[in-house]
Structure formats: structure tokens, C-alpha cells
């Protein structure tokens, strides 16, 4: 998607929602319910947006939701695009560039992930301190358009330290347990083998999932501040004596939904107040 494609999508969206959403949210598997909490919502299905890819996977609604969350103008992606669905990383990350064009300054990315760190439990929430791109590719490969960002973006503080501290404070006030760690982005769609999980632990990973890393690379390229939260929906393969299933992922995210919603809403409120 070139600059004109992104601008065309953004221009269309600006005709539907005239306020400026300073905060963007990408809602992971089972976490899309957060968008249902947005007041005076303007919902725009992906298939209505010029140049937008269309979501396929069950459980991913596939729309942008604009409106007010805790007094802040936000835009939320209810359903994201995954590399494993066959979308190019260019398509996977295009919505981030559109958000930037809409005026978003802070991006909150969420996902379901498998716990690698053995001190974690299914149902924990984890603040991303950093990530490891284990997808074997990068969304910025190809000619660089300086209108989007620099050729070699710095990734030394991908997850904004002030936002992380704010998130920790919010979690503490709400009495919500919040783990911290490094997210490994794999392509999926097969879950990891136990050997891969041991390898990822040795590499420094605390949780593993199939998203987020491409979007965060593009967000940093675009100069956005990023906060990442994983819902540890299961322990990664080989840690517990049981097979992994997508049903477990969905069941666990359902179980921690209330905590997740409260935490993210509180963080949004705090970002809004600090602006």
C-alpha cells in the first residue's frame, strides 16, 4: 500500500468520524469486546474502507470502531489481520498507518499469547517490555517512503517507558496482577513445539504469539508511542501436560475479560488526562 492508498482510506474515514482519535487500539483474539464499551460508536466494517484488507478468521469481527472511551476519542480495530491468514505484512500493518494519518499518537496493542515464562499462569496479563521478531521477515522490507518514516527506525524503546509505568500504576490501583516480559512474534498458525518453546525461553522470550510485532514495527516507524498488553491465554507447548487448543485461548480470554477491560479503560483515561 502506497502513501496515496493510505491517504484514501484515511480521507474516507474522516468523512465518517470528524473528531481526532489520539489513541488507537488493536484488539486481539477474544479481546474485541473492549470496542463494545466505546460510547457513541461509529462502526465501519473493513470491507467498506478503500484499500483495506478484509478479515477472515472466525471470532474477528472486522471493523473499526470510533468513539469515546473514558472521555477520550479513540479508534479501535475490532479484529486484526494476521500474517498466517495469508495477508502480506504490508496489508497486516496498513491500518496502523491509516491510524497515524487519522491523528493517532498512542497505539495500544493487545493480543492473546502463550506463556513461556514458567512463573506465569494462564489468565495473567502481561505488559510488553520488548519484543523479538521471530517471523523471519519485516514489514519495512522494500523501498522506504520517507513520508511514512526513516529507512532504519530505532527500536531501542519500542514500548514507551512512561506508558509502561502508567500501566503498572493503573494495575496496582485496580488490584490487577500485571506480569511484564518480552513477547516473541512467530508466524503461526501451528503452535510451537516444546523444543521451540525451550529455545524461545533461552532467547529471552516470556510469551509467544502470532501478531503484534509487525504492527509495532510500523508504529515505531511512524513515530507512534506504543503500549502492549498480552493476555496469557495458555502456557506454551510442553510446559503443562496437555495439548493446546484455540478453544482454550478463547475460554481464558473470556475469563480475564473484566480485568483486561478495566485495565485498558483506566490506562486510556490516564493517557487522556496526561494530554
Q: So which residues are the catalytic ones? A: 29, 60, 82, 84-85, 112, 210-211, 234, 246
Grid coordinates representing 130 are 520488548
Grid coordinates representing 270 are 490516564
* Residue 114 touching ligand HPA (CB under 6 A): yes
Cα 92 to the center of its chain, rounded Å: 11
Select the span of 52-60, 143-151, 198-206, 230-238 touching ligand HPA (CB under 6 A): 230-238
- Which of 63, 106, 212, 234 is in the footprint of ligand HPA by CB under 6 A? 234
- Which of 191, 196, 220, 264 is in the footprint of ligand HPA by CB under 6 A? 191
Answer yes or no: is 29 a known binding residue: yes
CA distance 249 to 253: 6
Answer yes or no: is 260 a known binding residue: no
- Which of 62, 95, 209, 214 is in the footprint of ligand HPA by CB under 6 A? 209
Number of residues counted as binding ligand HPA (CB under 6 A): 14
Select the span of 14-22, 122-130, 136-144, 185-193 touching ligand HPA (CB under 6 A): 185-193
Give the angle 49-53-57 at the CA atoms, nearest 5°: 120
* Residue 182 touching ligand HPA (CB under 6 A): no
Question: 132, 161, 170, 138: which is closest to 151 by C-alpha?
Answer: 138
Q: What is the DSSP letter of 206?
A: S
* Residue 208 touching ligand HPA (CB under 6 A): yes
CB count within 10 Å of CB 202 equals 9
Give the angle 257-261-266 at the CA atoms, nearest 5°: 155
- Closest approach of ligand HPA to the CB of residue 32, in Å: 15
Question: 200, 77, 41: which is closest to 133 by C-alpha?
Answer: 200
* Residue 158 touching ligand HPA (CB under 6 A): no
Closest to ligand HPA by CB, 93 or 234: 234
Q: Is 250 helix (H, G, I), strand (E, B) or coil?
A: helix
Name the H helices within the chain: 3-16, 89-102, 161-174, 194-203, 213-221, 246-274
Answer yes or no: is 82 a known binding residue: yes
Q: Say how many CA atoms lie within 13 Å of 97 toward its Cβ.
A: 28
Grid coordinates representing 132 are 523479538
* Residue 233 touching ligand HPA (CB under 6 A): yes
CB count within 10 Å of CB 235 equals 22
Answer yes or no: is 158 a known binding residue: no
* Residue 112 touching ligand HPA (CB under 6 A): yes
Residues 6+ apart with CB under 8 A from 241: none
What is the DSSP pairing of strand 39-45 with strand 63-69? antiparallel
Closest to ligand HPA by CB, 110 or 234: 234
Closest to ligand HPA by CB, 208 or 227: 208
Q: 247 to 266, contacts with ligand HPA by CB under 6 A?
A: 249
Binding-site residues for a purine D-ribonucleoside sit at 192, 234
Binding-site residues sit at 29, 60, 80-82, 112, 192, 211, 234
Under the rule (CB under 6 A), what is the footprint of ligand HPA?
A: 112-114, 188, 191-192, 208-210, 233-234, 236, 244, 249
Binding-site residues for phosphate sit at 29, 60, 80-82, 112, 211
Amino acid at each position: 500500500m502506497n502513501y496515496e492508498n493510505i491517504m484514501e482510506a484515511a480521507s474516507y474515514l474522516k468523512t465518517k468520524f470528524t473528531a481526532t482519535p489520539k489513541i488507537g487500539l488493536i484488539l486481539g483474539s477474544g479481546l474485541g469486546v473492549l470496542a463494545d464499551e466505546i460510547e457513541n460508536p461509529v462502526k465501519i466494517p473493513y470491507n467498506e474502507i478503500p484499500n483495506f484488507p478484509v478479515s477472515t478468521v472466525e471470532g474477528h469481527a472486522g471493523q473499526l470502531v470510533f468513539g469515546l472511551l473514558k472521555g477520550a476519542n479513540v479508534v479501535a480495530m475490532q479484529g486484526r489481520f494476521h500474517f498466517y491468514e495469508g495477508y502480506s505484512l504490508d496489508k497486516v500493518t496498513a491500518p496502523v498507518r491509516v491510524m497515524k494519518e487519522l491523528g493517532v499518537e498512542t497505539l495500544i496493542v493487545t493480543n492473546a499469547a502463550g506463556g513461556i515464562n514458567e512463573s506465569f499462569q494462564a489468565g495473567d496479563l502481561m505488559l510488553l517490555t520488548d519484543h523479538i521478531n521471530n517471523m523471519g521477515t519485516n514489514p519495512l522490507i522494500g523501498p522506504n517512503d520517507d513520508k511514512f518514516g526513516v529507512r532504519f527506525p530505532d527500536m531501542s524503546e519500542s514500548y514507551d517507558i512512561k506508558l509502561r509505568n502508567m500501566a503498572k500504576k493503573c494495575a496496582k490501583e485496580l488490584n490487577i496482577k500485571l506480569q511484564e516480559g518480552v513477547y516473541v512474534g512467530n508466524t503461526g498458525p501451528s503452535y510451537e513445539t516444546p523444543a521451540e518453546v525451550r529455545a524461545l525461553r533461552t532467547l529471552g522470550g516470556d510469551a509467544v504469539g502470532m501478531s503484534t510485532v509487525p504492527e509495532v514495527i510500523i508504529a515505531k516507524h511512524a513515530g507512534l508511542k506504543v503500549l502492549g498488553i498480552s493476555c496469557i491465554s495458555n502456557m506454551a507447548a510442553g510446559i503443562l501436560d496437555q495439548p493446546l487448543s484455540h478453544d482454550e485461548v478463547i475460554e481464558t480470554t473470556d475469563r480475564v475479560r473484566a480485568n483486561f477491560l478495566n485495565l485498558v479503560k483506566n490506562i486510556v483515561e490516564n493517557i487522556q488526562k496526561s494530554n
